Amino acid sequence: MPLAPKRVVDNGDNREEPPILKNIGVDTGGTFTDIVMRINGDLLFTHKVLSTPQNPAHAVIQGVGEILRLHNTDTQQLEIVHGSTVATNALLERRGARIALVTTKGFEDILEIGRQVRPSLYDFFVERPAPLVPADRRFGISERTLHTGEIQTEIETPDLDALTSELTALELDAIAVCFLFAYVNPENEKIVAEHLSQLGIPISCSHEVLPEYREYARFSTTVANAYIRPTLERHLSTLIGSKQFPKSFRLMLSNGGSVSVRSFQRSLQAENLLYRDESAGIRTVLSGPAGGVLGAYQIAKAAGYDQIITFDMGGTSTDVSLCNNGISLTTESTISGLPIKVPLIDIHTVGAGGGSIATVDTGGALRVGPESAGAAPGPICYGNNGEDITVTDANLFLGRIAATQFLGGAMSLDVDKTNTHIEKFATQLGIPPRQAADGILKVANAAMERAIKVISVERGFDTRDFTLVSFGGAGGLHAAFMAENLGIGTVLIPPNGGLLSAYGMLFADVVKDYSQTLLLKFQTGSETLLETLDAGFNELLTRAENEMEAEGFTPDQLKIERSLDIRYEGQSYELNIPFPAQLASWKLAKQKTETGAHALIQKFHAVHDQRFGYARTDAPVEIVNLRLTATGETDKLPIRPLPLADADPSEAFIVQNGVVFEGEALRTDFYRREMLQPGNQITGPAIVTEFSATTVIPPNFSAVVDAYQNLVLTRK
């Protein structure tokens, strides 16, 4: 759906009544599909259905249909932003398309060779993930483009015909075309793609997916895009082909933005769903977690917290991200051992969630995850014939989940069956049941704490300077214990935390990223260099304005951000540094140009020192890539404070039960979160239940409900 700019309402007597606008955020997770709907910006409704792993679109259609019926509304004036794990799971589970790779002859094994990076240097038993394209489906063709862009070897027609014949016999779903130096001159890739278009299957070309140097990352990203693209197409085909689902909606991207499905579709027919944006598939690979970070950041900023660590614990995995006065982005990530080089929110993921399975290894040690019980059969307590003990089962056994209050009382948990399995598991370990259940939680917590240290301590940040923002269905059960172990003094738990990823999608602007490799030495005051940068940025800007016009935005409505990937000469890694505005208009004033260039280099030195502990201020500096981000702002969900009162939380009290902390059962008050009021104070131990999540307030913590209805936990 092309989004109109914000409208100015005529205050005259003849103005028309504005239509009822409905915005829906949908997040498809491994266990649940979450739906959040707002009506006219003020009314907020939530819904949750079990995911349908065989075809995730079915749960999306069901959930959206149910929330519309529950609140007696229709699809008129409806805007949907949809994020999912469809692309992610295709990579993680290796259930993507049957694809082939066409590359420069002699370079067919780049995916196999990889690069000299060994994350497990001393592990004798490490297993490298197999390439997405096996050797018998990797084809070389005689062609060569030099690093200057000059075509040294042109592609011959007989070679194209022979290649087409071989590929036709393989019954492929998609093709990736990756040639050396195609980022400088893509002509040979275009020739091959045009010739192979007769096969009638999607073709991903590296110059469209990632026009940057370093062939392994470019090849890997392009191949991953081709691998997941048919899966995403089938998912969207099911949605568009359903009579119960709108034909136009937006897709959440990994960079925290979104794009309209219509903007990159050549056809809206369910059986023939093709894209204009050839990199659309790979850019959705972390769309669900991106929505969570976006929502958490908006809520924390409104509440006055600028430095946060987001902690999103769901049923299958946990995603963490560090936001230091802004959402952190990166252009490099690794998913299932595969380097992915597209702009995305800097999120680190571990296989620990509420559905993570506890096992005893051959040495008798307790392990938790990364295997998950998922949505079917799910944890034992769900009563769906699950037989594997999970983190959720351990929480229930210790009394930290109210069996009759799960999903607002809509789902009752099987306590007896859970207790029986925990007791058997404890016998296998040779320890008491309480200790076994507590051990499961502590092992899971340790894995998640390591993930947080990766994005904080290992990058030069002190966790004590940050607030932990916890969400996800299982986040509140573990957040306080995580904060204590990491030295974090404050935990912020937003309302509807189990649906925050879907909620965050309501804040998504329309965002598109563009990049181009340059490889130039930076010289302060060099007009030749600035002319080159100016020409490069203008080319990216033209593309951005043309593509954003299809999204409903004119050039003057766009927010444009420019940046450079910079490194010291001889380094093999870069840092992204914002490009000063005065350099973008360098012709206006030479003095401003020199000042801006000096500030740019000083910023690079400072960021390098913060990240790696040193800066080489006398070393030559190189520009590697130009980057440009175009943003079209959408109407945002208002976050308004409520008046605080010295209220008694007794109205929200449900019951008092025994809950186990450190092996001892303590009398613990249970509260219904929907009944708590801003200003309410709760002293631990206490449990706060709500429709989508449960929050544990340990004995050494207390909590207050702030003006934005967040639960703010602090250590006593």
Q: Say how far apart CA 703 and CA 302 lie, in whole Å.
A: 19
Each residue's pLDDT tens digit, 44-89: 898 988 888 888 999 999 999 999 998 888 877 888 999 987 888 7
- Give the Cα separation of 302 and 306 in Å (integer): 9
* Cβ-proximal residues to 554 (8 Å cutoff; 6+ apart), any chain: 5
Which DSSP string do the residues of 65-80 spell out, in sequence order? HHHHHHTT--STTEEE
More confident residue, 315 or 212: 212
Residue 684, pLDDT > 60, answer: yes
Nearest Cα neighbor of 632 from 250, 368, 349 is: 250
Non-local (6+) Cβ contacts of 634 within 8 A are: 3, 508, 509, 510
Q: What tokens were used for 22?
A: 């409905």
pLDDT value at residue 584: 62
Asked if the model's pLDDT at residue 530 lies above 50, the reply is yes
Token pair, residue 626, equals: 């130009």
Cα–Cα distances (Å) from 527 to 177, 524, 597, in that order, read: 37, 9, 11
Confidence of residue 145 (pLDDT cuts 50, 70, 90): very high
* b (16+ CB within 10 A) / e for 481-496: bbbbebebeebbbbbb
Return d(Cα 187, Cα 191) in angstroms, integer.
6
* Domain residue spans of the chain: 94-228, 510-632
pLDDT at 268 over 50: no
The C-alpha angle with vertex 486 and arms to 485 and 490, in degrees rounded to 5, equals: 100
The whole-chain average pLDDT of the chain stands at: 87
> Is the pLDDT higher at 224 or at 405?
224
Half-sphere exposure of 447 (CA within 13 A, CB side): 23
Q: Is the pLDDT of residue 626 over 80?
A: yes
Residue 208: which residues within 8 A CB-CB, separation 6 or more?
186, 278, 279
Q: Tell me: the pLDDT tens digits for 5-22?
A: 332 333 344 444 555 678
Given this model, what pLDDT does residue 587 score?
53
Does residue 467 surpass a pLDDT of 80? yes
**How many Cβ atoms sit within 10 Å of the Cβ of residue 404?**
12
First-residue to last-residue Cα distance in the chain = 50
Contact 62, 486 (CB under 8 A): no
Structure-model confidence comparison of residues 95 and 441, the more confident one:
441
Rg, the chain, Cα only:
27
Q: How confident is the model at residue 496 (pLDDT cuts 50, 70, 90)?
A: confident
Question: Which pLDDT band holds residue 590 (cuts at 50, 70, 90)?
Answer: low
pLDDT over 80 at 120, yes or no: no
Q: What is the reported pTM?
A: 0.85
> What angle do helix axes 433-455 and 475-486 make, rounded to 10 degrees?
70
Q: Within its chain, how far is the Cα of 491 from the centroid? A: 22
The mean pLDDT of 455-469, rounded to a whole number, is 93
243, 102 Cβ separation under 8 angstroms: no
pLDDT at 598 over 90: no
Q: Give the CATH number of domain 94-228; options: 2.60.40, 1.10.760, 3.40.50, 2.30.30.
A: 3.40.50
The whole-angstrom separation of Cα 652 and Cα 654 is 6
Give 557 or 275, the one with higher predicted confidence.
557
> Which range scores top for mean pLDDT: 342-351, 535-544, 585-594?
535-544
What is the predicted pLDDT for the residue at 555? 94
Of residues 273 and 626, the one with the higher pLDDT is 626
Q: List the structure tokens of 443.
A: 């092992």
Alpha-carbon distance values, 635 to 3, 251, 503, 512 (Å): 9, 16, 14, 17
Residues contacting 322, CB < 8 A, separation 6+ = 308, 309, 310, 328, 346, 455, 456, 459, 461, 466
Give 318-357 pLDDT, tens digit per residue. 889 999 999 999 988 888 788 899 899 999 888 888 888 9
Q: What is the reported pLDDT for 585?
A: 59
Q: Which residues pair with 51 in a beta bridge?
A: none
Question: Bridge-partner residues for 356, per DSSP?
Answer: 372
Instruction: Measure CA 408 to chain center.
Output: 27
Q: Which pLDDT value is given to residue 610?
A: 85
Query: What does the pLDDT read at residue 582?
Result: 63
For 647, residues 6+ apart whose C-beta sits below 8 A from its C-beta are 677, 678, 679, 680
Decide: 336 and 91 in contact? Cβ < 8 Å: yes
Give the burial class of 25: count Cβ atoms within 10 A of its Cβ; 0-12 exposed, 13-18 middle, 19 or more buried: buried
pLDDT for position 248: 83
Looking at 391-432, list the stretches that DSSP marks H as alpha helix, in order from N- to C-terminal side. Answer: 391-397, 415-429
Q: Is 96 buried (19+), middle (13-18) or exposed (0-12) by CB count in 10 A? A: buried
CA atoms of 293 and 345, how far apart (whole Å): 8
pLDDT at 43: 83
pLDDT at 207: 94
For residue 5, the model assigns a pLDDT of: 31
The DSSP letter of residue 332 is -
Read off the pLDDT band of 272 (50, 70, 90). Answer: very low
CA–CA distances in Å: residue 661 to residues 397, 655, 702? 12, 18, 15
HEC profile for 103-148? EECCCCCHHHHCCCCCCCCCCCCCCCCCCCCCHHHEEEECCEECCC
pLDDT on residue 1? 28
Which residues, including other chains, have CB under 8 Å from residue 475's CB and lie 6 or more apart?
Answer: 311, 312, 313, 493, 497, 498, 693
Give the number of other Cβ atoms within 10 Å of residue 126's Cβ: 10
Strand partners, 318: 313, 350
